[in-house]
Amino acid sequence: MRTRNLFLTVLAFILTISAGEAQTKRPSVTLQHGAHRIGKRMDADMQRWREYGLGQFLHWGVYAVAGGHWNGKYYAGAAEWIRSWNEMPHEDYDNLYRQFNPTGFNAAQWAKQAAEMGAKYMIITTKHHDGFCLWHSKYTNYTVARTPFKRDIVKELVDAYTKEGIDVYLYFSVIDWNHPGYRAILREEDREVYETFKQFTRNQLIELLTAFPKVKGLWFDGTWDKAWVEQAAFADALESELRALHPGLIIGSRFRADEYGKRHYDSNGDLMGDYEQGWERNLPESFDEVRHNDWDCVMTVPENQWGYHSDWRGYVKTSHDLINMLVKCVSMNGNFVLNFGPDGKGNIRQEETKLAKEIGEWMKINGEAIYGCSHVDLKKQDWGYFTRKQDKIYMTVFHLPVNGLLTLETPKDGNIPSKAWLLSDKRTLEIISAGRNKNNHRLYHIALPEGFSPGAPFVVVLETDKDGQNDGNAYQPAKI
């Protein structure tokens, strides 16, 4: 009895405190289907996600057969959207699966290439908006099982990537142009048939997690339709069900809306899901924009092509462009996910293979400044980005100053950097004290070797004082 009373007293105390906190910190709307957690997830699975740095996205489906062309005409949109183009009759698109026979597909080879690029996780389109399933779903006939190829592609990829030590995430589009019950907007008379679509969606998600227990998470897309946004209660319950089915499951902010139709961030401004999933071909400019959340950025190589388009037009990013984005993401606590769109024969195109190789070569030397690294509270400098891991600070340089000096500004009471060297060959660099600026912050110049011109981004490592003791000659990292 006594223990019970004590328990109740403690419980009441905790409830009072947390209620008080909720009131003072967040004057809020009461939400049933908003965020269910405030702040970052701190478990081991999420910590692993946070340390990836670099990921690979794969967009693959029957759109790869068309490759951005139909009847000899060039489609200017994103190749995976070709079904929505007036020039391509739906009937033609919906029969493409009969030609889907990617005899060049080799999951082990793709996984090896991704590993050599340095990717720590991969996201595969199990089903894009067209509804075509790359796995053997029993809930529709529109799957790879009915193509001449037959093989379960998701299964082969999950196995091959997992074997390479790369974590797998499943992209899933809620929009499904193939399902008879799918609607973008619900009229009264659609409500009944839409229920069949909701059950179908639930069935497929449960099917995926059951068939592929090794996957780490789900990457949702096609959740912006009004019809889906209105399903806050259903989607919330489904999310709980999926999490219960697959402990540790990671889901981004693009799955469900709250009961007021707010997406990503709920009506109280709190992030829904485990990380922000809104950085699409777009990066935050400053750390303030990410609001202390985890996030990923998904990026295409050309301007806007996810699925295979045989004719890339416009600017195509170089490996230096992509490495710049990668480091920028990590410097603001994000992961960078680079997209690949294999062709209809199951081959990864030359341009992508070349980029993967170049990025991989860079990562082999400089990956230490990426993996497991996070934001540093130091003023951004024009030469590039700071990242940090434990007591080391990394300066990844993209713009080499003509005077060969890299500026570093430390907060007023910060200690000085004790040692600097080039990550590539361990050459020690001189640290020159350059006085204080008008904010009374100390300035330093890290001097690069005479004539240093690597022609590629490079990393300078700064050693910092491990135990934070001020010996007058050690830089104390700022608290994050």
Q: Which residues bind ligand JFZ (CB under 6 A)?
A: 78, 80-81, 221, 278, 280, 298, 306
Q: Cα 448 to chain center, whole Å?
A: 34
User: How many helices and strands, by DSSP H and E, does the chain display?
Assistant: 11, 17
Q: Which of 440, 464, 281 is nearest to 387 (CA)?
A: 464
Tell me whether residue 83 or residue 445 sits nearer to ligand JFZ (CB atom).
83
Residue 56, SS3? strand
The Cα 5–Cα 11 span in angstroms is 10
Question: Of 459, 454, 449, nearest to 404 (Cα)?
Answer: 449
Instruction: Provide, rounded to whole angstroms, the least separation between the CB of residue 222 and ligand JFZ.
Output: 7
Task: Closer to ligand JFZ by CB, 201 or 476: give it.
Answer: 201
The distance of closest approach from Cβ of residue 224 to ligand JFZ in the complex, given in angstroms and rounded to an integer, is 7
Which residue, 52 or 386, is less far from ligand JFZ as judged by CB? 52
The 8-class DSSP code of residue 263 comes to: B
Q: How far is the CB of 214 from ligand JFZ (least distance, A)?
A: 23
Q: How far is the CB of 367 from ligand JFZ (least distance, A)?
A: 25
Q: In terms of CB distance, is 295 or 306 closer to ligand JFZ? A: 306
Min dist. Cβ of residue 172 to ligand JFZ (A): 11
Query: What is the DSSP code (8-state) at residue 466?
Result: T
Give the Cα separation of 384 and 320 in Å (integer).
Answer: 12
**3-class SS at 11?**
helix
Give the number of other Cβ atoms within 10 Å of residue 390's Cβ. Answer: 10
Indicate if the alpha-carbon torsion angle 216, 352, 424, 406 is positive or negative: negative
Q: Of 181 and 278, which has the nearer Cβ to ligand JFZ?
A: 278
Nearer to ligand JFZ, 280 or 377 (CB): 280
Q: Name the minimum Å distance from CB 63 to ligand JFZ.
A: 9
d(CA 327, CA 380): 13
Q: Shortest Cβ distance from residue 255 to ligand JFZ (Å)?
A: 13
Cβ at position 281, least distance to ligand JFZ in Å: 7
Distance (Å, whole) CA 38 – CA 157: 34
Query: Which residue number, 271 or 423, has a Cβ lying nearer to ligand JFZ?
Result: 271
Q: Which is nearer to ligand JFZ, 280 or 311 (CB)?
A: 280
CB closer to ligand JFZ, 164 vs 221: 221
Structural element, H or E, at residue 107: helix 107-117
Toward ligand JFZ, which CB reaches closer, 298 or 422?
Answer: 298
Q: How many whole angstroms separate alpha carbon 203 and alpha carbon 195? A: 12
Q: How far apart are CB 450 and ligand JFZ at their closest, in Å?
A: 46
Closer to ligand JFZ by Cβ: residue 78 or 215: 78
**Positions of E strands within 160-273:** 167-173, 217-221, 250-251
Secondary structure string (H, E, C) spanning 345-388: CCCCCHHHHHHHHHHHHHHHHHHHHCCCCECCCCCCCCCEEEEE
Residue 57 Cβ vs ligand JFZ, minimum distance, rounded to whole Å: 7
Task: Kindly give the pairing relationship between strand 250-251 and strand 217-221.
Answer: parallel
Q: Are 398 and 384 in contact (CB under 8 A)?
A: yes
**Gap between the Cα atoms of 392 and 374, Å rounded:** 11
- For 356-377, give one letter per residue: b (16+ CB within 10 A) or e: bebbbebbeebbbbbbbbbbbe
DSSP state of 189: G
Residues with Cβ < 8 Å from 253, sequence gap 6 or more?
263, 264, 265, 271, 272, 273, 274, 275, 276, 277, 278
Shortest Å distance, C-beta 264 to ligand JFZ: 9
Q: Which is nearer to ligand JFZ, 127 or 442 (CB)?
A: 127
Question: CB of residue 295 vs ligand JFZ: minimum separation in angstroms?
Answer: 12
